[in-house]
Amino acid sequence: MTEVLQWVSNNLYSFAVISILAYLAVSILVYFFQDIILFRPEKLSREFQFEYEKLDFQEYLIDVKPGVQLSGIRFKAEKPIGVVFYLKGNSRSIKGWGKFAIDFVRYGYDVIMVDYRGFGKSTGIRTQEDIKSDLQIVYDKIKEKVGEHHIVLYGRSLGSGFATKLASSNNPRMLILDAPYYSMSKTTGRYMPFMPMSILLKFPIPTYKWIRYVKCPIHIIHGTSDKLIPFASSIKLATINSSLTRLHTVVGGGHNNLHNFESYHEILSRIFTIDKLEFDKENSSIHFQRRKKK
């Protein structure tokens, strides 16, 4: 009996040691490879030519630091009454995201989009602080041409956190969050509940902390069937700065297909106009299909 207990004790000890080593190994991998997990950039050559049907645009290269440039595009409205600074999601480049500018140009707004570092034609190494700094530089450049009361910040998915940070440090006309997360730590923690993501994550992006300091109207748009970032995250965010926040629901909407719902476009109409514009399907993104992975 003593020998059996000793065998069990030794094996439990070995199992514990192996488990701890495996846990540490996974933690190290998450820490050093999280950029690959969180970001899925599409890189473009400097010679690449952007093309957008039905959109008038101008390309820019913006110097943010010595040796670091951001690739940006300004989509032009015929008689602009303001600017939408659109902060995109974590995948691809403005090559594919640019087509969504049509949903704001129709309301008389120019649209500015930039690629984060390492995306598209943009250069540089990504850190949370650098992305925040880069976007503030772009925002300041927009302010040189347009009064802040004419600037709308629109953050989509990953961009929602950074848009919230910009709004908390500036005074735009309004902030629109499309499928936002409570914090990146909370979102990634759903998929790795056994990992201390608040410690490991280099991009914690605490939207919930920044949103309390936003002083402009806040509009949150979220689909009820979003599997990546649950609708509940928007409900929680909406309660933090509730006097300035309005939550808009797209029933049945997922994470990547809100633009395929008429209700999404009706929400934009309510946000951008006093009188609802007649919905023009041909001049909207409702028919855009997400490109399938090869």
Instruction: Convert the pLDDT of each residue in 177-228 to its tens digit.
Output: 999 999 866 665 455 555 555 555 667 889 999 999 999 999 999 999 999 9
Residue 264 to residue 270: CA distance in whole angstroms? 10
Given this model, what pLDDT does residue 279 score?
67
d(CA 151, CA 90): 23
Q: 232-284, pLDDT tens digit by residue?
A: 999 999 999 999 999 999 999 999 999 999 999 999 999 998 545 566 777 78
pLDDT band at 290 (very low <50, low <70, confident <90, very high): confident
The closest of 182, 285, 290 to 231, measured between CA atoms, is 182
Q: Integer distance in angstroms from the first to the last C-alpha of the chain?
A: 59
Please name the helix (run of DSSP H) or strand (run of DSSP E) that holds residue 128, with its range, or none.
Answer: helix 128-145
Amino acid 285: pLDDT: 79
Tokens of 146: 């347009």
The rounded distance, in Å, linking the Cα atoms of 205 and 44 is 26
Q: Which helix (H) or strand (E) holds 68?
A: strand 68-76
Cross-strand bridge partners of residue 120:
43
Tally of CB atoms within 10 A around 54: 10
Q: What would the pLDDT profile of 137-181 be if each residue is shown by its tens digit?
A: 999 999 999 999 999 999 999 999 999 999 999 999 999 999 999
Instruction: With H, G, I as helix, E, B as strand and everything else as coil, classify residue 242.
Output: helix
What pLDDT sits at residue 183? 85
- The string of DSSP codes covering 63-109 is EEETTEEEEEEEEEPSS-SEEEEEE--SEE-HHHHGGGGHHHHTTTE
pLDDT of res. 193: 54
Euclidean distance between CA atoms 207 and 135, whole angstroms: 16
- Report how far Cα 179 is from the mean position of its chain's Cα atoms: 8
Cβ neighbours of 40 (radius 10 Å): 11
C-beta separation of 42 from 93 below 8 A:
yes
CA distance 269 to 277: 6
In terms of Cα–Cα distance, which of 200, 235, 178 is closest to 38? 200
Cβ 34 vs Cβ 109: under 8 Å: no
For residues 124 and 138, the answer to whether their CB atoms sit within 8 Å is: no
In this predicted model, what pLDDT tens digit does every residue of 76-128 receive, in sequence order? 999 999 999 999 998 899 999 999 999 999 999 999 999 999 999 999 999 99
Structure tokens at 25: 């190994």
The predicted model scores a pTM of: 0.84
Beta bridge partners of 219: 176, 246
pLDDT of 27 > 60? The answer is no
Return the residue matching tokens 């514990």. Answer: 16
- Token pair of 17 as six digits: 């040691």
**What does DSSP say about strands 174-178 and 151-156: parallel, antiparallel, or unpaired?**
parallel
